[in-house]
Structure 1
Amino acid sequence: MMLKRPRATMPAGIRRELDAAGLTEAFKQRPPHQHNDYLHWIERSVRAATKRKRIDQMLEELKAGGVYMGMAHRPSNRAR
């Protein structure tokens, strides 16, 4: 799939969060547009509290599977 915008760069802090939660592989399994959406959404945060909330939401969605940006998303269901 071709992205219409540049691919987001993974910030070291987000990488550490994914590693610490054991969710790096779950993130990698998502399609490139979801990587971009999550990373750009988090990086657009102005307040630290908002950034923390968005990181936590991403981690919870990756952990749960079947959820993407607060919506049900069948392709991201993971075998548990």
Structure 2
Amino acid sequence: MKAINLVTLLLVIVGGVNWGLVGLFQFDLVAALFGGQSAALSRIVYVLVGVSALWQLVPFSKAISSDEPYAERGYPTAR
């Protein structure tokens, strides 16, 4: 389970960097690397990034429902 979380987190980061490049410079790195936005490989990467974002909702919701956010801020945890 840890491996899939790391892979999906990496893909979400790739997607975030790509969106940052699109927003700042109108440059789509995924499209540039894989043959344009409509190329099959680019579309696969886009879908994998989207599915990874959905997958990351699970650890995110677990972190929100636990004391983890308090630990990150340095507050004492509720017991």
With structure 2 as the length reference, what TM-score do the two structures score?
Answer: 0.28
Work out which structure has the larger RCO, using CA pairs closer than 8 Å and 6 or more positions apart in sequence: 2
Structure number, greater radius of gyration: 2
Task: Select the structure that is richer in helix.
Answer: 2
